[in-house]
Amino acid sequence: MKSEIIKISQISPAQSIVCIVGKNEIPLFLSLNKTEKEYALKQLRKKEEIVFINSYFKCTYIVKVKEGASGYKAREELRKAAAGIKKLIKSNNHSELVIASHSTYKGAVEDFTEGLLLSSYTFKKYKTRDEDEVKKNYPAKLLLYGDINKSELKWLTDLTDAVYFVRDLINEPVNHLNATALAVAIEKTGKSAGFRVEVLAKRKIEALKMGGLLAVNKGSVDPPVFCILEWKPAKPVNKQPVVLVGKGIVYDTGGLNIKTGEYMSGMKGDMAGAATVTGVLYTAARNSLPLHVIGLIPATDNRPGGNAYAQGDIITMYSKLTVEVGNTDAEGRLILADAISYASKFKPELIIDIATLTGSAAVTFGTQAIAMMTNAGRKYIKLLEECGNEVYERVSELPFWDEYAEMIKSEVADIRNVGGREAGTITAGKFLEKFATSPLIHLDIAGTEMLKKDDHYRLREGTGSGLRLLVTFLRRLAADYKKLK
């Protein structure tokens, strides 16, 4: 269970507390006795970053902000520090825990809390036996002390809720989450958060002639879905919506070009983009973001099966462009392309797609950066990079030159869905660009979305990477809308 966060304006001396300090000072509100205080100061002077004091009736954790770090790096150090002491906190089984700060930067309490919440996530719903680790509890309540305003607190709650939701969806295996189940989860989220959801079923998808989505679905025994999510506030700052497109491959076997060996592991997470888009709409609606946002989610599994699409097939896409299938494992771009052309209907001011699209992005960037390609212009790039640093979901730009589009030319169709071994991440982006009639930002999260081991507060398996980036970006876009125009 996720800890609830509550703002408090008074601390009682008996409460267990985490205090973030910027200097080697012990604030009075910690109510430590003389010996404890001396011990704490001695540890801090020894450059200990965490001092733990067990006073029998309560615990005190003093966390020193890393020296030398400033700005967004200091913020990240604090999130990581929280991840570093989550086990200790858990082992002490607090029902409530105060989080406070003393002579450090504004927002330190929120950053620490965010790190603690994100590193306390677990996915245990299929465990039927209690294990020791499971028995201990994280604090049910985190009591935030200090100058924190209500809307910031709400934002933090909703955003971390959304990360939990996104991780849950990614971690759900395909035998529990096929495309239809994904649509049901999206509808449920729309109802609870207050955004509109429309689900197009297979018959409608056929009537619309979404050739990309239908081709990928051919080997499956489950039908595809196409979900349309909409958050439209009463007075949006934008006239034309921002459209988000998320890849919803609920499982990627590769299809007839089947993935061998270890390459199939983690492919239940090939719908991370879809989960992320849903999480963004959730946060936007919960916080009444004054921006008109539409989410498009094409979803299916990609399998070899009786009538599976095959290498050499020529597909007519929703946009009427024809595509030669060079590899059935390049399925993501086929379903995304249909969604990106469908977006034209809304005359969007900007399209952002987010997808676990190419293994090549993971090879290039490892687990640290989201690959970004765009034709949308510097102002968006700058904002995206800034937001990426702030939440530490950093983006790195790849070239998006037209020469790369030559690699996906076809002899027999308008284009091919693969461009050869070289520049695989970029040619995938160029493929998508052919279907966009508005400026496009393409985010490839193949490297960041699924981890093999914990990386501080980004935990093993689904990380939800891209969610905090996108909601922060949209919030800034809304706030600075006129300035950015």
Site string for ligand BES, 386-425 (x = CB under 6 A): --------------------------------x-----x-
Q: Does residue 353 touch Zn ion according to CB under 5 A?
A: no
Handedness of CA 69, 159, 384, 441 (dihedral sign): positive
Question: For residue 227, which of 207, 256, 247, 251 has the smallest C-alpha distance?
Answer: 247
List the alpha helices (DSSP H) in 148-271: 150-171, 179-193, 202-208, 211-217
Longest dimension (CA), the chain: 82
- Helix, strand or coil for residue 228? strand
The full DSSP string for 387-442 is: HHHHHT--EEE----GGGGGGG--SSSSEES---STTHHHHHHHHHHTT-SS-EEE
Q: Segment near Zn ion (CB under 5 A), from 21-29, 250-258, 389-397, 433-441?
A: 250-258
Question: For residue 352, which of 476, 473, 238, 271 has the smallest C-alpha distance?
Answer: 473
Q: Which does 358 bind (CB under 5 to 8 A by kind): Zn ion, ligand BES, Mn ion, none?
A: ligand BES
**Considering beta carbons, is residue 110 or 222 the nearer one to Zn ion?**
222
Q: Which does 120 bind (CB under 5 to 8 A by kind): Zn ion, Mn ion, ligand BES, none?
A: none
Burial class (CB in 10 A: 0-12, 13-18, 19+), 376: buried
Site string for ligand BES, 242-281 (x = CB under 6 A): ----------x-----------------x-----------
Burial class (CB in 10 A: 0-12, 13-18, 19+), 179: buried
CB of 404 to Mn ion, least distance (A): 20
In this structure, the number of other CB atoms found within 10 A of the CB of residue 213 comes to 30
**Considering beta carbons, is residue 110 or 331 the nearer one to ligand BES?**
331
Rule CB under 6 A: choose which of 190, 224, 236, 332 binds ligand BES: 332
CB–CB of 154/287 below 8 Å?
A: yes
| Total of chain residues touching Zn ion, rule CB under 5 A | 4
End-to-end, the C-alpha distance of the chain in Å comes to 42
| Total of chain residues touching Mn ion, rule CB under 5 A | 3
**Considering beta carbons, is residue 361 or 478 the nearer one to Zn ion?**
361
Q: Segment near ligand BES (CB under 6 A), from 5-13, 157-165, 312-320, 329-337?
A: 329-337
The active-site residue out of 333, 394, 430, 475 is: 333
For tokens 């595809």, the residue is 224
Q: Does residue 301 touch Mn ion according to CB under 5 A?
A: no
| Total of chain residues touching ligand BES, rule CB under 6 A | 16
Rule CB under 5 A: choose which of 172, 222, 270, 324 binds Zn ion: 270
CB of 58 to Zn ion, least distance (A): 50
Q: Does residue 252 touch Mn ion according to CB under 5 A?
A: yes
CB–CB of 61/20 below 8 Å?
A: no
**Considering beta carbons, is residue 111 or 329 the nearer one to ligand BES?**
329
CB of 304 to Mn ion, least distance (A): 12
Contacts of 118 (CB under 8 A, 6+ apart): 79, 83, 160, 163, 457, 458, 459
Q: Does residue 360 touch ligand BES according to CB under 6 A?
A: yes
Q: Does residue 353 touch ligand BES according to CB under 6 A?
A: no
Is 106 an annotated catalytic residue? no
Rule CB under 5 A: choose which of 248, 269, 332, 424 binds Zn ion: 332
CB of 352 to ligand BES, least distance (A): 18
- Alpha carbons 449 and 355: distance in angstroms, whole number: 9
Q: Segment near ligand BES (CB under 6 A), from 105-113, 330-338, 398-406, 452-460?
A: 330-338
Rule CB under 5 A: choose which of 110, 114, 230, 252 binds Zn ion: 252
Minimal CB distance residue for ligand BES: 359
Within 13 Å, how many C-alpha atoms sit on residue 1's CB side? 12
Footprint of ligand BES on 104-163 (CB under 6 A):
none
Return phi, psi of residue 324, to 5°: -85, 130
CB–CB of 407/90 below 8 Å?
A: no
In this structure, the number of other CB atoms found within 10 A of the CB of residue 214 comes to 23
Q: Segment near Zn ion (CB under 5 A), from 46-54, 137-145, 169-177, 332-340?
A: 332-340
Is 333 an annotated catalytic residue? yes
**Considering beta carbons, is residue 77 or 329 the nearer one to Mn ion?**
329
- Alpha carbons 131 and 161: distance in angstroms, whole number: 25
Please list the active-site residues. 259, 333
Where does this chain bind ligand BES (CB under 6 A)? 252, 270, 327, 329-332, 356-360, 362, 418, 424, 446
Where does this chain bind Mn ion (CB under 5 A)? 252, 329, 331
Where does this chain bind Zn ion (CB under 5 A)? 249, 252, 270, 332
